[in-house]
Amino acid sequence: MVACGVTVDLPIGIDIEEKRRKPVNNILSLAHRYFSPYEVQYLASFMDPESRQSEFLRLWTLKEAYVKALGRGFSGAPFRNFTIRFEKSTDSVVPERPKSEEFRIMIDTASDSENLTANWQFALVELSGSHLAAICMEKDENMPGTEQEFLKLKVWKTLPFVEDKCMSETDAVINISGLS
């Protein structure tokens, strides 16, 4: 898989992970090491190991995309210093995995009291059932339109010299986060 994000004067970060890849360590052990206490508690609320792993992967890809958008990378912005939250549009925290049309992704930072979520937008997509991709991009406040219109995601299947096919409007691409 190769990902390419194109923006004009706006930071962007992308992460793609294979869904069936299994971590060597226990998911909660990894979460305690890299995630915030809220995220660890969120993951611990899933009793089913497959559901817990799926949520771990969602959080991991979102966190990776965010630190890449910041230009810091994994070591420059420790994962434990910020929290990814899935929240209903009414601003109430959702204890279980929300439906895509009911949530937005929020960031809380431990080192900065300013809520940075107003500056970032996220997309979380499943690609061909085998990969999960997260995209984080700074919002352009000068661009008219709703939040849904800020991030225009196009997914292409490309076999060099053979085929270029837009997959964005097919079942191969499932938009999990509700952004277009």
Contacts of 138 (CB under 8 A, 6+ apart): 10, 11, 12, 69, 119, 120, 121
- For the entire predicted model, the pTM comes to 0.78
Cβ burial of 135 (10 Å; 0-12, 13-18, 19+) is: buried
Quick one: pLDDT band at residue 104, thresholds 50, 70, 90?
low
Whether residue 79 is contained in a domain is answered as: yes
Percent of the chain's residues with pLDDT above 70: 69
pLDDT of amino acid 117: 53
Lowest mean pLDDT among 52-56, 149-153, 176-180: 176-180
Residue 11 is encoded by which pair of tokens? 């930071």
Q: Between β-strands 120-127 and 173-175, what pairing exists: parallel, antiparallel or unpaired? A: antiparallel
Whether residue 4 is contained in a domain is answered as: no
Whether residue 6 is contained in a domain is answered as: no
Whether residue 3 is contained in a domain is answered as: no
Whether residue 67 is contained in a domain is answered as: yes
Residue 33 is encoded by which pair of tokens? 């090491």
CATH number for the domain spanning 20: value is 3.90.470.20
Whether residue 92 is contained in a domain is answered as: yes
Range of the domain at 19: 12-175
pLDDT of amino acid 120: 78
**H helices then E strands: how many in the chain?**
5, 8
Lowest mean pLDDT among 20-24, 31-35, 112-116, 122-126: 112-116
What gap in Å lies between CA 174 and CA 116, rounded to an integer? 27
Residue 65 is encoded by which pair of tokens? 């995309």
Whether residue 16 is contained in a domain is answered as: yes
In sign, the C-alpha dihedral spanning 7, 174, 119, 145 is positive
Count how many domains the chain has.
1
**Mean pLDDT of the region 6-19:** 88
Quick one: pLDDT band at residue 91, thresholds 50, 70, 90?
very low
Whether residue 180 is contained in a domain is answered as: no
pLDDT of amino acid 180: 36
Q: What is the mean pLDDT of the chain?
A: 75
Degrees, nearest 5: CA angle 121-45-83 = 30
